[in-house]
Chains A and B, each alone.
Chain A
Amino acid sequence: MAIHDGASVVPTLSAWTRSFPLEGRARLLLLMPAVGFLLLVFAYPLVLIAVRSVTDPAPGFGHYVQIATTDVYVRVLASTFGLALSVTLATFVLGYPVAYALARSRGFVQALLVMLVLVPFWTSLLVRTYAWMVILGRYGVVNKTLMALGLTDEPLKLLHTGFATHIGMVHILLPFMILPIWSVMSRIDRSLIMAARSLGASQFSTFLGIYFPLTLPGVFSGALFVFILALGFYITPALLGGPSDLTISMLIAQQVSELLAWGFASALAVTLLVVTLALILVAGRLLGLDKIWEGLK
């Protein structure tokens, strides 16, 4: 049984601190370094890219017309979004139960689970991608095992397929789904679950009607992280995917490094950015962006 006297003190104290906010100028001064940094290394190059997309090699919107009217660019753009969407769904299906296990476990088991999620998260993306190349390669662990078991006579083509791209990306992005969901789950009041059960809800109805809806803010923010990161993935699809699994980022890299078409590459980048922002805006409208922010809190 808790002592409740403290409860009435805390809000009062926080209300007190709220009533004495930092002076406007002091706040601005504290924000200056971060804002300056972002302007210099993020906003300024972004503007440069946008400008270059309509000036290099000649002024005009020619690049954008070309992107919109060329079948292959539209298709690559669509398949990139398709890939990001299916990776997001897969990370959700795999990550939700893990987040639940994290939220429900205690002590040593929880510490172990956290390590299992975070150690790959801290490992370089390149290292993990190469690891998958070794595992999925023609004479990699998977194929050798399958052949040793006699399940297949010759090695299967696993590497350089859409399947390999999916595996690699899901593996790398999983923590971005798990962590926000876990954070929301661990803040769910256990008494809500007990209340639902006492009011006549079976375990399944409690999950469906109470628990799952309460975890949605975490699911939304996790999905947003994964989706946006997946859209810009370059190394993993380039190393694990096949020649037909072209993503927009690979297309951009190709334009820059092989064709030196900086203007066209910039136009592709701006297109990706604009379409992504538009999608997020629409999704935010449909799902309620406030829920996403609540999940991030």
Chain B
Amino acid sequence: MTLEELPKALERRGAPVRLEQLSKVFADSVAVTDVSLEVGAGEFLTLLGPSGSGKTTTLLMIAGFLVPTRGEIFIGGVPVSRKPPHQRDIGVVFQSYALFPHLTVFDNVAFPLKMRKVPAARIAERVAYALDLIRLEGLGGRYPHQLSGGQQQRVALARALVFEPPLLLMDEPLGALDRKLREAMQLEIKRLQRTLALTVIYVTHDQEEALTMSDRIAVMNHGRIEQLASPEELYERPCTAFVADFLGESNSLNGTIVRSDASTLVVGTPGGLQIFARKYADAAAGRAVSISIRPEQIHMLGADEHSDNEVHGVIEEVVYLGEAIRYLIRAGPRELLCMKKQNRRGHSNPQAGQSVRLGWSADAVIVHPVEQ
């Protein structure tokens, strides 16, 4: 069977999901506060955040293992928060794979079908489809401990898909795999999700994984959604300092607006730097702000080159990354800037202790007002 035929074999498509002011309060802590979001049918949405940000708690509420303190979950328009997990019809892939060790691969994948009282002949057919789908045909007789980590992950995926759930939840499913395998599995999951038009809610703390796979990302922090947007928008226009810092590297500096023109702002830092940025809506002189600049937006300027922002500094540290070189540059008593330079053959790379002139455009500076 080819990939193009597979959607016909697995008929059901993804359902839209809506969370309405979902909150979870534990005896000693608040895990999730007022999380509202909508996931379109066939959309890949990632909950991204550090540990303790509430992303797994949110996932467990959707799966039915935690009862929300407040709020409601709708799957395909139907409220489900009172339904026990086994009646929700959601595929869940766990970080530990959670394959049943006493059952063969075939019986693991057949388990959800048996629970749904599917006739044996149909089960054999569907399990064969599913194993085909994850490219593990012929391994049905093995036990989980006889498989590699990557293969176990695929079986867990097949088991969560074989009963055609309208929604697939994944909790750090690739966390235990090594880098190469993780990247291969990312593409594989993405391929399945597109082919089967699955609605996926994916939990991870790995920002690179989130950027690669997601249609949209909800960045969570302290039980709230900080920003919900496409990967591109999150990276280019993070709306809080936390998001800017969590997604990719970022130079964060605190300062005060010293001047505000029609289109530009000038932010003064404690160390005396004057940084030009694009004006945002309610900017006013005297406001405390934090600014972020991505390391790859900063360049070393040649003698006759100029930029919106120009800063003198001394290289403190050089880190060789292979494809790029990272410099830590002292630009003021409290202003240590990080910049990345592509490692090109034939270009000389400055060394630690050397003085350099750095430049970046006003567009590269993201300004966030600081809550007071």
CB-contact partner of A200 in B50, B56, B115, B172, under 8 A: B115
User: Do the beta carbons of B102 and A214 come within 8 Å of each other?
Assistant: yes
Q: Which residue of B lies closest to A192 (CB)?
A: B98
User: Do the beta carbons of A201 and B92 come within 8 Å of each other?
Assistant: no
Once bound together, how far apart are the Cα atoms of A163 and B76, in whole Å?
60
Indicate with 1 or 0, residue by residue over A1-16, a CB within 8 angstroms of chain B CB atoms: 1101001100000000
User: Do the beta carbons of A201 and B111 come within 8 Å of each other?
Assistant: yes
User: Do the beta carbons of A195 and B178 come within 8 Å of each other?
Assistant: no
Indicate with 1 or 0, residue by residue over A198-211, a CB within 8 angstroms of chain B CB atoms: 11111001100110
Q: Which residue of B lies closest to A201 (CB)?
A: B115
CB-contact partner of A196 in B95, B100, B178, under 8 A: B100
Chain A residue numbers with a CB within 8 Å of B112 are 199-200
Indicate with 1 or 0, residue by residue over B52-96, a CB within 8 angstroms of chain A CB atoms: 100010000001110000000000000000001110111110111
CB-contact partner of A198 in B51, B86, B172, under 8 A: B86
CB-contact partner of A191 in B51, B86, B94, B115, under 8 A: B94
Once bound together, how far apart are the Cα atoms of A195 and B88, in whole Å?
13
Q: B-side binding surface: helix, strand, loop or mixed? A: loop
User: Do the beta carbons of A4 and B175 come within 8 Å of each other?
Assistant: yes
Q: Which residue of A lies closest to B65 (CB)?
A: A194
Residue among A189, A197, A201, A214 facing the most chain B CB atoms (10 A cut-off)? A197
Q: Which residue of B lies closest to A205 (CB)?
A: B115
B134 CB to closest chain A CB (Å) equals 16
B85 CB to closest chain A CB (Å) equals 4
**Given that A191-B94, A196-B100 are known contacts, is A1 also in contact with B65, CB under 8 Å in the complex?**
no
A213 at interface, CB cutoff 8 A: yes
User: Do the beta carbons of A214 and B98 come within 8 Å of each other?
Assistant: no
User: Do the beta carbons of B94 and A194 come within 8 Å of each other?
Assistant: yes
Chain A residue numbers with a CB within 8 Å of B100 are 192, 195-196, 210, 214
B116 at interface, CB cutoff 8 A: yes
CB-contact partner of B92 in A1, A195, A209, under 8 A: A195
Chain A residue numbers with a CB within 8 Å of B92 are 194-195, 198-199
Q: Which residue of B lies closest to A188 (CB)?
A: B101
B224 at interface, CB cutoff 8 A: no
Q: Which residue of B lies closest to A1 (CB)?
A: B51
Chain A residue numbers with a CB within 8 Å of B86 are 197-202, 206
B246 at interface, CB cutoff 8 A: no
User: Do the beta carbons of B176 and A4 come within 8 Å of each other?
Assistant: yes
Q: Which residue of B lies closest to A198 (CB)?
A: B92
**Given that A4-B176, A191-B94, A191-B96 are known contacts, is A197 also in contact with B101, CB under 8 Å in the complex?**
no
Indicate with 1 or 0, residue by residue over B15-50, a CB within 8 angstroms of chain A CB atoms: 000000000000000000000000000000000001
User: Do the beta carbons of B102 and A199 come within 8 Å of each other?
Assistant: no
A13 CB to closest chain B CB (Å) equals 17
Which chain B residues (217-256) contact chain A, with CB distance < 8 Å?
none
B290 CB to closest chain A CB (Å) equals 26
B154 at interface, CB cutoff 8 A: no
User: Do the beta carbons of B163 and A8 come within 8 Å of each other?
Assistant: no
User: Do the beta carbons of B63 and A198 come within 8 Å of each other?
Assistant: yes
**Given that A1-B172, A8-B178, A194-B65 are known contacts, is A199 also in contact with B96, CB under 8 Å in the complex?**
no
Chain A residue numbers with a CB within 8 Å of B175 are 2, 4
Chain A residue numbers with a CB within 8 Å of B205 are 1
Chain B residue numbers with a CB within 8 Å of A4 are 175-176
B159 at interface, CB cutoff 8 A: yes
User: Do the beta carbons of B159 and A199 come within 8 Å of each other?
Assistant: yes
CB-contact partner of A199 in B51, B52, B163, under 8 A: B163
Chain B residue numbers with a CB within 8 Å of A191 are 94-96, 98
Once bound together, how far apart are the Cα atoms of A197 and B99, in whole Å?
13
Chain A residue numbers with a CB within 8 Å of B52 are 1
User: Do the beta carbons of B98 and A194 come within 8 Å of each other?
Assistant: yes
B15 CB to closest chain A CB (Å) equals 16
User: Do the beta carbons of A195 and B94 come within 8 Å of each other?
Assistant: yes
Which chain B residues (161-199) contact chain A, with CB distance < 8 Å?
163, 172, 175-176, 178
Which chain B residues (109-127) contact chain A, with CB distance < 8 Å?
111-112, 115-116
Indicate with 1 or 0, residue by residue over A166-203, a CB within 8 angstroms of chain B CB atoms: 00000000000000000000000101101111111110
**Given that A1-B51, A200-B89 are known contacts, is A195 also in contact with B65, CB under 8 Å in the complex?**
no
A5 CB to closest chain B CB (Å) equals 10
Residue among A4, A194, A199 facing the most chain B CB atoms (10 A cut-off)? A199
Residue among B86, B88, B112, B178 facing the most chain A CB atoms (10 A cut-off)? B86
Chain B residue numbers with a CB within 8 Å of A8 are 178
Chain B residue numbers with a CB within 8 Å of A210 are 100
A265 CB to closest chain B CB (Å) equals 45
Q: A interface vs B, CB < 8 Å?
A: 1-2, 4, 7-8, 189, 191-192, 194-202, 205-206, 209-210, 213-214
Q: Which 5 A-B pairs have the closest CB atoms?
A: A195-B98, A200-B115, A1-B51, A199-B112, A198-B92
Give 21 A-B contacts (CB < 8 Å), ordered by A residue: A1-B52, A2-B175, A4-B176, A189-B96, A192-B101, A195-B94, A195-B159, A196-B100, A197-B64, A198-B63, A198-B86, A198-B90, A198-B91, A198-B92, A199-B92, A199-B159, A200-B116, A200-B163, A201-B86, A209-B111, A214-B102
